Structure formats: C-alpha cells, structure tokens
Amino acid sequence: MILEFILLVLTVALFLYAFLAGADFGAGILQLLPIGISKEKKMDFIGKAMGPVWEANHIWLILALVISFNAFPDIFWFISEYFHFPLGALVIGIIFRGASFTFLHYDPIKDRSEKIYHWIFGLSSIWCTMWIGIIVGSVMLGNFSLEDKEIYPRYFEHWLNPFAIMMGIFITNLMMFNASLFLYLETREDKHQWLKVTGRVLLLTIISGALVHISLFIQNANRWMLFFSNGLSLTLIMLSFFLLFPQYYFIKNNYRKSSRLLAGTQLLAIMAAGFAPLFPKVILFRDNSSFDIYAKAAEPEVLRLLAIALAVGCVFILPSYFYLLKIFKAQDQKFERDVKKG
C-alpha cells in the first residue's frame, strides 16, 4: 500500500503539471497567433488569466522529480541518462520562458525589448511542449537497449524518429486546446474570437492525434497493437473522444467549472490510455525486457519515509495551493469591479 500511495501522489503531480502547466504553455503559444484581437489586449488578458497558474505550476514538476529520484532511482537514472539531450533542451526552454515572462509582465520600462520578450516567451512555449511530447512518445515507443554504447543509438535514436516528433506536435496542440478553452471560459469580452480559436485548435488536436496512431503503426506495428489490444486503453481513448459532446454543450452555455472538470477528465483519460498497456512496466526495451515499477522501487525503509513526508506535505501543499489560486482570482475580480466603478 505504501508504494501504491507514492504512485498515486506521483500520478496526481504529473497530471496537475500536464493540466495547469500545459494550459500555461499553450497560452504562451496562443499569444503569438493572430486571432482577431489586438496584441496588447491579448497579452494583458493572458497575463491576468494565467498568472495564478504560472506562479505555482512548477511545484508539481519538482514534486514529481523528487518522488522519482527517491522512490525509483534506477528509472530516474535511466531517464536522466538516455534523455540527457531532450531534458537539457526542455530545461533551457523553461529557463528562457520564465525569464521572458518575468520581464514581459513586470519590467517597469516599456520599450522595444518588450517585443523580444514576447517572441521569446511564445517560441520557448512551443519549444517546451514539443520536447515534452517527444519524451512521452519515445517512452511509449520503447526503442531502447542497455547494450547501446555509441552516442547516436544511446542518446538520439530512440527519440529522433517520426512517431516521437508527431507526439510532440500532438502534445503541443493538446496544450493549446486546454489553454484556449481556459481563456474562452475566463474572458468576458471577445468570446466569439476565443470560441473560434478553441474550435480550430480542437480540430488540429484531433487530426494530430490520428497521425500519432498512424505514425506508430508504420514505425512499429507491434507497439501499436500493444495499445489497441488493451481493453482499458481503448475504453479511455473512446471516453476522451465522446466527452467532446458534453464539452461542446458546456462551452456553448458557459458552464465554466463543468467545462474545466471535463477538460481535466479528458486529459487524464488520454494520459492513462497512453500508459495503461505498459503498467506496471514503465520502460520497454527492444529485446522485450522492461523496467518494472515494482521491481525497480527503492528499499522499503526509503519508501516508508518518503510516504510519511508526502502525506504530511499534502496536508500543507494542496490547501495552500488552492488558497493561492483563490487569492489571485479574488484580486483580479476586485480589480475588475473597481475599474467598472471608475
């Protein structure tokens, strides 16, 4: 039960990072796109809407890294070693993105540099989402071997392929969809434009999702069959698709909480569908061996201490996080009321 509790917290951390940071990344990409709203107005709105999410979303990434390092050291080593270049590229993108966001929104001097920060923020958002998708695609493909000693097969071959790159494009579109939906529900103006953007990005997400399956089938039909012969995976894929119909109803009627909850459910279903056929395996190798998450877990005493720390931490972190979001939203709503009063 201890290991299952740790896995639950790790899953929640990864999901919250994918959902909240994903919407944040997606908003950065949308900031670059022409959507029929002036750049200044769009940037101001995105900054206010995504500010609360931006301030705290990396908590979940740090938590996931700490859990992985302590609970699954062999798996953490493997990912750090074999994904050295993708993870390095992702970290560089996060640094550039964070720095440009800070200067873009908090620099008191407004000059030409603002345009540079704007483009760095948007391009680094695309950069980060692509690398996240590429890493996910490479893990799903499982084209690894511990016998690879040369640089290209060990560090590049498993992710430098059509399926992993297509997964990067799909994840980018998926994060843009979450962001556009979030922004549509937040805005009190320009709802028609944001609705149009949400519909277009949704179409791109569906098309890129279909291309992910096609590229996987072409590249490795056995891996494709692994996912489509799994009943749970198929059920989750169908669930994420059919939830689009009630989602359309909620969007049209501006049911904000229900729509966000449904968007989170869809993302969770997609994430679970990708890894359900693998569990408890987490890393697949070309020779059909694997890293089993139970076999590669740390010593029981380490897991016990980690579980205690996580249980205590959750008591403080979760209420504090949601209280932080509430404070930010309350400030924004107060500011809007003051503006209307003049």
| 3-class secondary-structure state, position 144 | strand
Q: What is the pLDDT of residue 236?
A: 87
Could you tell me if 317 and 62 are in contact, meaning their C-beta atoms sit under 8 angstroms apart? Answer: no
Statement: residue 53 has pLDDT above 90: no
Q: Which of 174-178, 210-214, 270-274, 309-313 has the lowest mean pLDDT?
A: 270-274
Spacing of C-alpha 318 from chain mean position: 19
Instruction: Say if 244 falls within a structural domain.
Output: no
Q: What is the pLDDT of residue 331?
A: 52
d(CA 139, CA 142): 5
pLDDT band at 48 (very low <50, low <70, confident <90, very high): low
> Across the chain, where does the E strand assignment appear?
281-284, 290-292
d(CA 36, CA 194): 9
Instruction: Say if 243 falls within a structural domain.
Output: no
pLDDT band at 188 (very low <50, low <70, confident <90, very high): confident
Instruction: Say if 259 falls within a structural domain.
Output: no
Question: Each residue of 80-110: pLDDT tens digit?
Answer: 999 999 999 999 998 998 888 778 767 667 6
167 vs 47, residue with greater confidence: 167
Tally DSSP H helices, then E strands, for the chain: 15, 2
State how far the alpha carbon of 251 is from the alpha carbons of 23, 25, 181, 256, 262, in Å: 17, 21, 8, 8, 10
256 vs 144, residue with greater confidence: 144
Instruction: Say if 190 falls within a structural domain.
Output: yes
Burial zone of 285 (CB within 10 Å; 0-12 exposed, 13-18 middle, 19+ buried): middle
What is the count of structural domains for the chain? 1
Q: What is the 3-state secondary structure (H, E, C) of 218-284?
A: HHCHHHHHHHHCCHHHHHHHHHHHHCHHHHHHHHHCCCHHHHHHHHHHHHHHHHHHHHCCCCCEEEE
d(CA 249, CA 241): 14
Instruction: Say if 235 falls within a structural domain.
Output: no
Task: State the residue range of the domain holding 318.
Answer: 2-229+277-341
pLDDT band at 311 (very low <50, low <70, confident <90, very high): very high
Instruction: Say if 298 falls within a structural domain.
Output: yes
The token pair that represents 146 in the structure block? 């511990």
